[in-house]
Amino acid sequence: MDLDAVVRARRRIAQAQADYVRELRALVADGPGGACGEPVAAELAVALAESEHVIRRELARAKQLTTRLPRTLQALSDGDIDLPKAAKVVDQTEVLSADRAARVDEMITGKLVGRDAGSIRRIAYRAVHKVDPEGAALRAAQRRERRKVEIVHRDDAMASISATLPADAASATYASLDRMARSARNHGDARTMDQLRADKLAECVIGRSGGRPGSARAEIYVHVDLPTLMGLAENPAHLAGHGPVPATVARRIAEDPTSTWRRVVTDPLNGAPLEVDRKRYRPTKAVADYVKVRDKECRFPGCHRPAAYVDLDHVTPHGCDGPTCAANLIGLCRHHHVVKHTAGWWFEVEPDGTLHITTPRGACHTSRPPVELCDSVAAGERTGVTVGGEDGSNTGPTRGRRARKRRRRANRCGSGNGFSGARASSGDHASGRDSRVGTR
């Protein structure tokens, strides 16, 4: 076993991470005329098949390291630390002014080699306190402003909920859950303490036992075919925003009278109307529901925001004769709705719901709905958009007939998708807040 070879390989990884940081920083220029961080983040996320949240965090980290923490970046370049360890320094110094961050960077130089991530965080924290002792209260207030709740989807129909709270609130929340769990155990409940704490948290929030009666409840979409729902098949179901779940889980949700799910049977049961008045701006509820069921999530590549929280957008703008029908509507989360109407982006949709996205740098990506449009729509609806790429290619710059038609349509409707970089609030979305039916 060559331990030294492993260490050398690890150092090379760190050096490559430093190169990656510098390239990220070079991608987003500062000052007038420079690249806009948000559109660049969206385009880079598509190119790297990474979530936009991760890319924005990496871009911010790259800016901190290259402009405020050059010595920490050099330690990364030398292979003395890796990027996760460098991130600990970034996290501790991001609330400081540039000059104080530079002082911390200088103070900890040479102290990071051979340290684990936790030790580096403590070293940086102590240095921050030394250079700005009176700012501790302000830093605590700034971090308090970043409190949030996040969900991370796991395997086998599980997920994790994480809450970032002030320490006192977090401690009190855990103590309350622990007290409820112990009370249940003392009354003979056979579940483990971990299971009870988790179940009590869900009960308190959802309101199944101890929640306020009649309170607003979130709507959850579960897509399941009819044979599976009836117990005649074991096909996986689809939980919007999460992905596949076992048939047994779908049936358990369906049979639970207290669940907040909304059943979406993928085998047509009632022939929901899809063809409506194509000249109206806002879709009917039937069409809006259908598009959200079809798309399941935001249609931007890599975004998994559930369709219950999206805007419905005309791919071909309504003002440019774009019809209000399922074949010309897509679901986009509010953030990617803004991206779509930023200059340089181009969206095209095919009758079956396949979406072609061209980035400002000319790369073409394809997004397909998880559930195809039904044959009656695919065969009969005129979308009023150009469909390109006869071979279905989803990479490389667009060329040829599709690009020529795009230019002609752009001349008629204006730049981009007809808005020349208009924001979503003034863009062409069919439903605005009316489409956000995640709660009722």
Highest mean pLDDT among 143-152, 185-194, 425-434: 185-194
Q: pLDDT digit string (tens) for 151-193?
A: 888 888 899 999 999 877 888 898 899 999 999 999 999 999 9
Name the pLDDT band for 140 (thresholds 50, 70, 90): confident
Q: What is the pLDDT of residue 281?
A: 52
| pLDDT tens profile 252-261 | 777 766 665 6
* Confidence class for position 437, pLDDT limits 50, 70, 90: very low
Residues 6+ apart with CB under 8 A from 100: 93, 128, 131, 132
Structure tokens at 375: 């044959």
Best CA proximity match to 312, nearest among 302, 341, 326, 304: 326
Q: Which amino acid is at 75?
A: A
- Alpha-carbon Rg for the chain, nearest whole angstrom, is 26
Residue with tokens 């230019």: 407
SS3 346: strand
* pLDDT at residue 210 is higher than 50: no
pLDDT band at 56 (very low <50, low <70, confident <90, very high): very high
- Which residues in 282-307 are b (16+ Cβ under 10 Å) and which e? bbeeebbbbbbbbbbbbbbbbbebbb
Predicted local distance difference test score (pLDDT) of residue 421: 32
Read off the pLDDT of residues 355-376 as tens digits, 9 standing for 90 and up: 899 998 888 998 887 644 333 3
346-349: strand order across its sheet: 346-349, 355-358, 364-367
118-132, 212-226, 294-308, range with the lowest pLDDT: 212-226
Among residues 129, 48, 123, the alpha carbon closest in space to that of 85 is found at 123
* For range 385-389, the mean pLDDT: 30
pLDDT of 39 above 90: no
Q: How large a percentage of the chain has pLDDT more than 90?
A: 30
Q: Minimum mean pLDDT among 47-56, 212-221, 387-396: which range?
A: 387-396
d(CA 437, CA 440): 7
Q: Residues near 286 by Cβ (< 8 Å), separated by ≥ 6?
A: 272, 273, 274, 276
Please check the confidence at residue 400 and state whether its pLDDT lies above 60.
Answer: no
**pLDDT more than 70, % of the chain:** 71
Q: Summarize the confidence of residues 51-76 as an average pLDDT.
A: 94
The pLDDT mean for the chain works out to 75
Q: Which residues contact 262 (CB under 8 A, 6 or more apart)?
A: 219, 220, 221, 222
Among 1-10, 24-33, 174-183, 319-328, name the one with the lowest average pLDDT: 24-33
243 phi/psi in degrees, rounded to 5:
125, -155
Rounded distance between C-alpha atoms, residue 193 and residue 55, angstroms: 37
For residue 19, give the nearest of 51, 52, 65, 50 by alpha carbon.
65
Please tell me the number of Cα atoms within 13 Å of 338 on its side-chain side: 9
Mapped onto helix, strand or coil, the DSSP state of residue 393 is coil
Provide the pLDDT confidence category of residue 8 given band limits of 50, 70 and 90. very high
Tokens, residue 209:
């036992």
Which of the two residues, 185 and 422, has the higher pLDDT score?
185
What's the average model confidence in pLDDT over 323-335? 86
Over 90: is that where the pLDDT of 76 sits?
yes
Instruction: Select the more confidently predicted residue: 71 or 436.
Output: 71
- What tens digit of pLDDT does each residue of 84-117 get? 999 999 999 998 999 999 999 999 998 999 999 9
CA distance 281 to 260: 31
Produce one character per residue of 143-178: b if its CB has 16 or more CB atoms within 10 Å, e if not.
eeeeeeeeeeeeeebeeeeeeeeeeeeeeeeeeebe
pLDDT at 279 over 80: no
